[in-house]
Amino acid sequence: MSRKTIATLVQMKKEGEKITMLTSYDASFTRVLEAAGVDSILVGDSLGMVIQGEESTLPVSVDDMVYHTRCVARGRREALLIADMPFMSYSTPDQALHTASRLMKDGGAHMVKLEGGATQLETVRQLTMNGIPVCAHLGLQPQSVHKLGGYRVQGKDEETAREIKEDAMALEAAGAQMLVLECVPKMLAAEISRILTIPVIGIGAGVDCDGQVLVVYDMLGISSGRRPRFVKDFLPEAGSIPAAISAYVQAVKERRFPTEEHSFQ
């Protein structure tokens, strides 16, 4: 396994090789993910729910994210490391620059991820002009769960589908170098993946995205609460955590995950 950069992932997209991504929050899990050949690791603000026991991602602080990103960075050797910018830590371009610099300088992240479309274009420009790689996030945006009225599929009607597609193109033009699409119809995700030159990573967005991401606790069946439709528990068949993560990687690479069962029309 060679060291992954954003240029590596762009080349993988060009060659049609699926990109694998999982979340991690500590050094030990990170070493297991790397041994399985995971291409990119996301330190997600999902840690608020799966690590801290919160009901949403909203209470997660920048200090929390820096701490967990640093833990993951200590265990990482080759995967591209992305860190979420938490709720209300990038409400202005200048605030975003401060948050991102902490995640990269203190946390060791290679890239930061933020949620939002047209309203984030100036922030994306500010970050990229200052040498900070950005992963955008469209579709279901967990930090906006109260505004969206819950964890619901986005882009099901023609108008919202068009908005998501337009936002995706605008974010790429503003400098975003990767995009996560969460809980959108598979045909919409496939179209966006074709249009954009940057890698598009799906979660509940069908098999035709350039890659897939899941919360690692979800794909091991050890998170609490109702399991989202787009999640598959890989642990029972594999029998161990390392084997389950390897099975996930192979299933994504071979286009066996996600299936229709894990996708939205």
Q: Domain residues of the chain, as ranges?
A: 6-262
**Structural contact between residues 130 and 94, judged by C-beta atoms closer than 8 angstroms:** no
* pLDDT score, position 149: 55
For residue 116, what are its two tokens? 């939002």
Q: Is 182 a catalytic residue?
A: yes
For residue 11, what are its two tokens? 């080349």
- Helices first, then strands: H and E counts in the chain: 12, 8
For residue 132, what are its two tokens? 């900070």
Asked whether residue 1 carries a pLDDT value surpassing 70, the answer given is no
**Sign of the torsion angle spanned by Cα atoms 176, 111, 232, 10:** positive
Lowest mean pLDDT among 72-76, 135-139, 152-156, 222-226: 222-226
Q: Identify the residue whose tokens are 């994504």.
A: 252
Q: Of the CATH numbers 3.10.270.10, 3.40.50.300, 3.20.20.60, 3.30.930.10, which one belongs to the domain with range 6-262?
A: 3.20.20.60
Write out pLDDT tens, residues 89-131: 999 999 999 999 999 999 999 999 999 999 999 999 999 999 9
**What are the E-state strand segments in the chain?**
19-23, 40-43, 80-84, 111-115, 134-139, 178-182, 200-203, 211-214
Catalytic site residue from 182, 237, 254, 260 = 182
**Structural contact between residues 205 and 182, judged by C-beta atoms closer than 8 angstroms:** yes
Asked whether residue 220 carries a pLDDT value surpassing 80, the answer given is yes
List the Cα angle 29/32/34 in 5-degree steps.
Answer: 110
* pTM score, whole prediction: 0.96
Write out pLDDT tens, residues 134-192: 999 999 998 876 565 556 889 999 999 999 999 999 999 999 999 999 999 999 999 99
Strands 40-43 and 80-84: parallel
* pLDDT score, position 247: 98
